[in-house]
A and B are shown apart, each in its own frame.
Chain A
Amino acid sequence: MFADYTWAELGSIFAMQGFSGLILFSVLLLMALGLAIIFGQMGVINMAHGEFMILGAYITYLTSNLFSTYLPELFDAYFFIAIIFAFIGTFLLGALVEWTLIRHLYKRPLDTLLATWGLSLILQQLYRTIFGPREVGVTLPDWMMGSFQVSEMIEVPVNGMIVMVITLFITLGVFLFLQKSRKGKQSRAVVQNRAMAGAVGIDTARVDRFTFALGCGIAGIAGATFTMIGSTGPTSGQLYIVDTFLVVVFGGAASLLGTIASAFSISQAQSIMEFFLSGSMAKVLTLLTVIVILMLRPQGLFSLKVRR
């Protein structure tokens, strides 16, 4: 597939597709981050994670409409406000779901998988009832539309760079939060030894609720960035859940660096192959590669040999 191109052209193609894959990278990374926190914390597979993302996307859509109707002079900045709204909205829904559903199912991963799938179906139908079956898109402010011309063949989209910067900030923020803050430390303590954490006076039930909600909130932010690469429909989120889970597993569930590296490699592989093959074949190849690697190295790329 490379035979028809010169090396220079190939270099440019790789760079171009690489940059255009940045938004996908951001979406996958944020999704995976949320999923990894939830999975690592309570062994819960949240199959409705994609629907939380889509809620974030719908909130972004609503915010953009709100601004263009009532505050057109501030429209340039709506995206940043939307991120905050998306986070808050999905965080609250996450807390509610944890309280009604998830807390009854700790340490039964296969059951949570089925229950959260049920939840995802209900959310999808809710979105369809509220927002209609049609996909909706947001209008970007002008300044985010263009791209930098780096060389004759290479263009870097502005929104891609912005989204990636935001993503990296959030990732760093989550990392610092988990490492340094009191809440973050409590949350890690619960992961490592639930009984002991409870015994030293940490309210593990509250920490769980907070952690689950945080994971969902991050998915909401992923949804806000998602509006830049696709239009939002009731079932758009479902397409991402398998990819996201593969990112988490591929990176080794407990490693932040691993999650970043695996989100990066999967999104880039997909984006670059899309140029040479059809989109669907690129996806098939990416997923297949990940599965084959996982079969060879089931513990993921970045995990430590631990004492059982």
Chain B
Amino acid sequence: MYQQKDFVLTIEGLTVSFDGFKAVNDVSLYIEEQEIRVIIGPNGAGKTTVLDLICGRTKATEGSIKFKGKELTKLKEHEIVHAGVGRKFQNPSIYEDLTVFENLELSYPRGKKVWGALTFRRDQEVIDKVNEIAQMIFLQEMLSSPANLLSHGQKQWLEIGMLLIQDPELLMLDEPVAGMSVSERKQTAELLQRITKERSVLVIEHDMHFVEEIADRVTVLHQGKVLSEGSMEKVQNDPKVIEVYLGH
């Protein structure tokens, strides 16, 4: 039914069990180029675990994850990053003790080995790239301030920026607008629209208005399984989904 080459990410039969409890159970997922896919589902549905599995934080019990034809389940975390997958965590995780500039710089794709990091030089190319990304994530005024001074929403942006500077082909965002004000949400939605021109994005989100605004397609997870998939409209009208999730 699907043709392999159309998909950036192909997940088939993915299962992980923790002491017999299947947090993710036989999940299959196909993501196209430049698609924004949103995963929704009630708490404990296995959304974050799916992202953990893709980026190698958790090892799969069964199944395969193919990214541009490369099997990810066999790679280490940093190799998956080098393959072109970027991941933002649920709680913004940035380096509080470093400045915004340094935060972004550490994600710049050069000097990733011990020797490279020792001899890394901050040349014009790096400075330009950091400035460009800072502009994108609305932090150009904050470059030299320590990251712990940022607001919650700004930290979320900074982490997105740290991913953008790596220029990944697949960007995974775990609740990118959690804790953001209304205006920040709007800015984030615009940001996402803008950055997907060159890449695919996989988003976990609870905020339905936000989902409606950005999603090309939506996947509903429930108890570790795919419950429904399709456009937002189709999913919203699916009686199974209404029963477990949207119904209340």
A308 near B52: Cβ-Cβ < 8 Å: yes
B23 near A307: Cβ-Cβ < 8 Å: yes
Question: Which residues of chain A come closer than 8 Å to B49, judged between CB atoms?
Answer: 307
A305 near B19: Cβ-Cβ < 8 Å: yes
Give bound CA distance, A306 to B58, whole Å.
11
How many residues does chain A have at the interface if contact means C-beta atoms less than 8 Å apart? 5
Instruction: Please give me the residue from chain A that is nearest to B44 by CB atom.
Output: A307
Give bound CA distance, A305 to B22, whole Å.
12
Question: Which residues of chain A come closer than 8 Å to B52, judged between CB atoms?
Answer: 308
Does B186 sit within 8 A of A, measured CB to CB? no
Which of B18, B21, B23, B58 has the most CB atoms of chain A within a 10 A radius of its CB? B18
Instruction: Please give me the residue from chain A that is nearest to B48 by CB atom.
Output: A308
Distance in Å: Cβ of A277 to nearest Cβ of chain B = 40
Query: C-beta contact mask, A267-308 vs B, less than 8 Å → 1, else 0?
Result: 000000000000000000000000000000000000011111
A304 near B58: Cβ-Cβ < 8 Å: no
- Which secondary structure dominates chain A's binding surface? loop
B57 near A304: Cβ-Cβ < 8 Å: no
Query: C-beta contact mask, B42-86 vs A, less than 8 Å → 1, else 0?
Result: 000000010010000110000000000000000000000000000
Give bound CA distance, A308 to B90, whole Å.
13
Instruction: Please give me the residue from chain A that is nearest to B18 by CB atom.
Output: A307
Give bound CA distance, A308 to B18, whole Å.
10
B58 near A308: Cβ-Cβ < 8 Å: yes
Give bound CA distance, A305 to B57, whole Å.
14
Question: Which residues of chain B come closer than 8 Å to A304, judged between CB atoms?
Answer: 19
Which of A305, A306, A307, A308 has the most CB atoms of chain B within a 10 A radius of its CB? A307
Instruction: Please give me the residue from chain A that is nearest to B23 by CB atom.
Output: A307
Distance in Å: Cβ of B48 to nearest Cβ of chain A = 9
Question: Which residues of chain B come closer than 8 Å to A307, judged between CB atoms?
Answer: 18, 21, 23, 49
Instruction: Please give me the residue from chain B that is nearest to A306 by CB atom.
Output: B18
Which residues in window 19-70 of A have CB below 8 A to B?
none
Give bound CA distance, A306 to B21, whole Å.
10
Question: Which residues of chain B come closer than 8 Å to A308, judged between CB atoms?
Answer: 52, 57-58
Distance in Å: Cβ of B23 to nearest Cβ of chain A = 6
Which residues in window 1-44 of B have CB below 8 A to A?
18-19, 21, 23
Instruction: Please give me the residue from chain B that is nearest to A304 by CB atom.
Output: B19
Query: C-beta contact mask, A130-168 vs B, less than 8 Å → 1, else 0?
Result: 000000000000000000000000000000000000000
Give bound CA distance, A304 to B17, whole Å.
12
Distance in Å: Cβ of B188 to nearest Cβ of chain A = 26
Distance in Å: Cβ of A302 to nearest Cβ of chain B = 13
Give bound CA distance, A304 to B19, whole Å.
7
Give bound CA distance, A304 to B21, whole Å.
12
Question: Which residues of chain A come closer than 8 Å to B23, judged between CB atoms?
Answer: 307
Distance in Å: Cβ of A304 to nearest Cβ of chain B = 6
Give bound CA distance, A306 to B20, whole Å.
11
Question: Which residues of chain B come closer than 8 Å to A306, judged between CB atoms?
Answer: 18-19
Distance in Å: Cβ of A272 to nearest Cβ of chain B = 34
Give bound CA distance, A304 to B18, whole Å.
9
Distance in Å: Cβ of B92 to nearest Cβ of chain A = 18
Question: Which residues of chain B come closer than 8 Å to A305, judged between CB atoms?
Answer: 18-19
Give bound CA distance, A97 to B21, whole Å.
42
Distance in Å: Cβ of A299 to nearest Cβ of chain B = 13
Give bound CA distance, A127 to B215, whole Å.
70
Distance in Å: Cβ of A149 to nearest Cβ of chain B = 48
Distance in Å: Cβ of A303 to nearest Cβ of chain B = 11
Give bound CA distance, A3 to B19, whole Å.
44
Question: Which residues of chain A come closer than 8 Å to B58, judged between CB atoms?
Answer: 308
Give bound CA distance, A307 to B47, whole Å.
13
Instruction: Please give me the residue from chain A that is nearest to B17 by CB atom.
Output: A305
Extra pairs beyond A305-B19, A307-B18 (7, CB < 8 Å)? A304-B19, A305-B18, A306-B18, A306-B19, A307-B49, A308-B52, A308-B58
10 tightest A-B CB contacts, nearest first: A307-B18, A305-B18, A304-B19, A305-B19, A307-B23, A306-B18, A308-B58, A308-B52, A308-B57, A307-B49
A: residues with CB less than 8 A from B are: 304-308
B: residues with CB less than 8 A from A are: 18-19, 21, 23, 49, 52, 57-58
A-B contact pairs, 12 of them (CB 8 A): A304-B19, A305-B18, A305-B19, A306-B18, A306-B19, A307-B18, A307-B21, A307-B23, A307-B49, A308-B52, A308-B57, A308-B58
